[in-house]
Amino acid sequence: MSEDDGPRRRLGRREVLAASATGAAAATAGCVGSIFGDNNSENELSLSDFRGSGPFVSGRPAPDGTSMDDLDDLSGTLSIYIGGGEGGLYRGLIELLQQKYPDFDAQLKSAPSTQLANTIIQESENGNPRADVFWSIDASSLGLVANAGYATSLPSAVTDPVPSELQDSNGRWVGVAGRARAIPYNTNRFSASDIPNKVDAFANQERFANSMGWGPTYGAFKSFVTAMRIMDGREATKQWLQGMLDQGTEEFRDEYFVSRGVATGAVSAGFANHYYALRVKAARENPPIDLAFTENDAGALVNVSGVEIIEGTQRSDLAGLFAEHLLTAEAQEFFATRAYAYPMIAGVQPVGDLPTIDELNPPELDLTELSDLEPTLELMREVGVL
Amino acid sequence: MATEEGLVDALRREARGERTLALTLLSAAIAALVLSPVAWILLEASTVGFARAVNLLAGARMVQVLVNSLLLVGIVTGASVVLGVPLAILTSQTNLPFRRFFTVAISLPLVVPSYIGAFAYFTGFGEDGALTAALADAGVAVSLPEMTGLVGTAVVLTLFTFPYVFLSTRASLASFDGTLLEAARTLNHSRTSAFFRVVFPQVLPGIAAGGLLVALYALSDFGTPAIMGYDVFTRILFVNYYDFQLAALLSVQLLAVTAVIIALESAVESGDASGYASSNPDAATRLELGWLKGPALVVCSLVVVAALAVPIVVLVLWLVRDTGQTGFGYAFSWEYGWNSLSVSVLAAVASILFALPVAYNSVTDDGRLSRLAERGTYVGYAVPGIVVGVALVALGSKYAPFLYGQIPLLVFAYVVRFLPQAVGSVRSSVLQVDGRLTEAARTLGHSPRAAFRKVTLPLVAPGIVSGAALVFLTTMKELPATLLLRPGGFETLVTYIWMVQESRHYGKAAVPALVLVGISAISMLVLLSRGGNDVT
């Protein structure tokens, strides 16, 4: 990847990106984009480019916080490993950034987050790191790399705007979008007051027998079990899992399907990340689904998608600036409106009638500890849910 | 045969120079190169202490993986025989209506890459599947069972690999000497009894050959069990590939199972099917279906629907349903198609360059080293793609960092996997070269090199072209090695399908998947035009 062929290669790609990302007529947008791309170092993008056009967008206040325009331009090549299933949205944001900054070229590699974390560790152990930035869907894989010693300390400009419980205690990774554990429930079957404020209740109350859904093979669920194991101990967690099994909890492929099952009435309630219920709401006409949140237990975990800079990178300045961009008002608005994620900065609100992150009662837990996944998998296999 | 011997003698006489040795050494070097991934696996596995190896492999989970893999291979192979053999008999030995149509339609599922079949079944079936929903919209309320785990994997692999058994059984039925059947009839056997006592033993090797292909495919397939969430060797290897020691141990186990399957097949194989090939049985020897005609037609139609119509329909459903709304960031770009095209061309060219000396040398020189070199290049047939990928990731990142995560290493993985196709193709056309022509050129004063260029090369060109085409087309749809070895920022049609499939943006997979099915259909045509039952 020589310096010379970089810009020329990007030109062709950006034509496509410009067309697909903005949805404008392909040919015109491509031409205009590339013409300006050659002369200007920055293309103008409006807030609506980042905000998108979902059903929860109208009437939102303008986001407040550092704007991308306050930051230096992104320029140069950056190798970004993107871990996790919702990575498509992240790719979308990166495409917008490349559109905004014609001199910015992101080389992306997507794969399941744990696998990428281990790849980074392996490459680093061989003295041959290939990633500059690891952007992962959950804190556990970020913690895996950090605990192996291959994540650098982030500059304070990156970490300062983010609440301390949503970043690594040693400043090696920082959350960019929050994902709360939630209880999606079918409003025809339950009212909000029926939903207990502890997950424990689901495992032993008669009314939840044969009515719950879960996706135990899904990564976020495993992180939730890890949190429970760290907070309540192995034995209690085992009992909870066994209790849910005995309740006849129905298994779904992942938590999107759990939430959809709740909306269709296949189950009455379930365990899922909060944003899936919003995705279901966005896709259907007034589906009978709403969200409840437990309090101060593993069921109330707020996990994050976050970034870290890989030790040994030659581009740590660009990597840091990239991370700063993810925490700007525009990017946070992007995560909030397109991924229905919890914003990390105070000036941006979550969509719809989601409680704000201050109104949630997440447990006291260092998210880096979630990287200790293996005992969780053993436990889940032992009970027979995996 | 006479031609071949004539050629071999002639070439051998001619090649009695220092060039032979150079060529043999070159072939040996090529064989060593493509064997290097396997060599690495054996070396790496041997560095794992015995205690740790036992600890790693004897754990409940790894035992489960072994059992799962064997179970899958057994079920898929068995089901393919149960499906493929009767269908072969029905379409070639009976008075089934529309025989020609069914013969083609039943072979065609081979053009659907199994991971695309798995995608279609996984996303189409089940309570919330695309096909279920479409049927419900059309007023047909059926509950299609969910396709996951062992059932889903076995169903998909059977549907998309049983044509191997179907085709190989048909081939051996076609080469069956019809007079034997008549002899049995004169010995007072009923038609059915004669069929089972005379025909069946004769076609058994054919069934076994098809079964071998199915078993090896089921064992080495990565995409289907990964989509279905069924833990077999390939899936565990993919998830754990960064743990090189574990990966090497698993690979050794996988190769061992492969070896056992091949050994089992060669135990069934008898001598050459003898006698005269009678093309299609004439009316006198055709089995009358009678009242079975109706049920037979239903079974044939159901198989065609399940293995051909379902995947295509589900892909088209996703194509229509793709609103593009949730796939933001996964916008399809023809750049991916271009990337697929470029690496496939590179793989085809590289494979032919590697295949030429090996094939030429194996024909002109039958010394032990030459034969070993040729056999060595066939390793790609037996070694699963995921193993090649894992080995090259390890080799590359440890010993060749300048290659790791770069296109050349990816292309090399394709060469290792698909060189056998190129060698086979080139070799068979080299064999067809009449040695006397080369001799004539030599008597006319041409140097050996000029004779090769002016006489041999034009004659082997068709073999080169079809070999290159085969490598090109199979590279286009290769999944596991591409996933592991692609450079950052480099997506192909296949990795794009995988990416959107993993992120549940199913609609986005429709276009590239249909493109790949089309490309595979072309590769089927190439195979058929070559007239062999070669496998890819």
Domain ranges of chain B: 1-47+329-531, 54-321
Task: Provide the Cα torsion B140, B145, B147, B153; round to 10°.
Answer: -120
Question: What CATH number should be reported for the domain whose range is B54-321?
Answer: 1.10.3720.10
> Do the Cβ atoms of B397 and A16 come within 8 Å?
no
Checking DSSP bridges between strand A289-292 and strand A174-186, what pairing results, if any?
Answer: antiparallel
Which pLDDT belongs to residue B327? 47
Pull the structure tokens for residue B455: 């006489």
Complex ipTM more than 0.85, yes or no: no
Which of A11, A22, A51, A89 should one mutate to test binding to chain B, selecting the residue with the greatest count of B CBs within 10 A? A89
Q: How many CA atoms lie within 13 A of B59 on its CB side?
A: 14
- Surface-to-core class of residue B465, CB atoms within 10 Å of its CB (0-12 exposed, 13-18 middle, 19+ buried): middle
> Which one-letter amino acid corresponds to residue B278?
S
Q: How many CA atoms lie within 13 A of A68 on its CB side?
A: 24
C-alpha span between B33 and B19 (Å, rounded): 21
Give the Cβ contact number of residue B65 at 10 Å.
Answer: 22
Which pLDDT belongs to residue B289? 80
Closest alpha carbon to B238 in B409, B433, B483: B483
A5-178+305-338 sits in which CATH class? alpha beta
- What are the beta bridge partners of residue A110? A82
Distance in Å, alpha carbon of A6 to nearest chain B alpha carbon: 13
Is B204 in contact with B160 (CB distance < 8 Å)?
A: no
Which pLDDT belongs to residue B173? 84
Pull the structure tokens for residue A77: 């090549």
Which pLDDT belongs to residue A253? 75
> Do the Cβ atoms of B331 and A89 come within 8 Å?
no
Domain ranges of chain A: 5-178+305-338, 179-302+361-383
> Do the Cβ atoms of A20 and B326 come within 8 Å?
no
Superfamily of domain A179-302+361-383: Periplasmic binding protein-like II (3.40.190.10)
Which pLDDT belongs to residue A156? 93
User: What are the pLDDT digits (tens) for A243-269?
Assistant: 999 999 998 878 988 998 999 899 999
> Do the Cβ atoms of B505 and A86 come within 8 Å?
no
Considering only CB atoms, which chain A residues are within 8 Å of B331?
A: 16-17, 20-21, 95
The minimal CB distance from B329 to the residues A16, A89, A131 is found for A89
Helix (H, G, I), strand (E, B) or coil at B386: helix
The minimal CB distance from B397 to the residues A93, A95, A123 is found for A123
Please calculate the CA angle B72-B498-B117 and round it to the nearest 5 degrees: 45
Domain B1-47+329-531 of CATH type 1.10.3720.10? yes
User: What are the pLDDT digits (tens) for A27-36?
Assistant: 333 333 333 3
Contacts 24+ apart (CB under 8 A), B303-308: B303/B83, B303/B87, B303/B106, B303/B159, B304/B102, B304/B105, B304/B106, B306/B159, B307/B106, B307/B108, B307/B109, B307/B112, B307/B117, B307/B159, B307/B160, B307/B162, B308/B105, B308/B108, B308/B109, B308/B112
Distance in Å, alpha carbon of A197 to nearest chain B alpha carbon: 30
C-alpha span between A180 and A299 (Å, rounded): 9
Is B199 in contact with B273 (CB distance < 8 Å)?
A: no
C-alpha span between B159 and B310 (Å, rounded): 11
> Do the Cβ atoms of A13 and B333 come within 8 Å?
yes
Which pLDDT belongs to residue B14? 57
Is A119 in contact with A347 (CB distance < 8 Å)?
A: no
Which pLDDT belongs to residue A3? 35
> Which one-letter amino acid corresponds to residue B80?
S
Q: Mean pLDDT, chain A, as a whole number?
A: 85
User: What are the pLDDT digits (tens) for B74-84?
Assistant: 999 999 999 99
Q: What is the DSSP string of A15-57?
A: HHHHHHHH---HHHHHHHHHHHHHH-S-----HHHHH---TT-
Could you tell me the pTM of the whole model? 0.82
Positions in chain B short of pLDDT 70: 1-19, 269-285, 322-329, 527-536
Closest alpha carbon to A350 in A54, A87, A129, A85: A54
Which of B123, B236, B321, B328 should one mutate to test binding to chain A, selecting the residue with the greatest count of A CBs within 10 A? B328
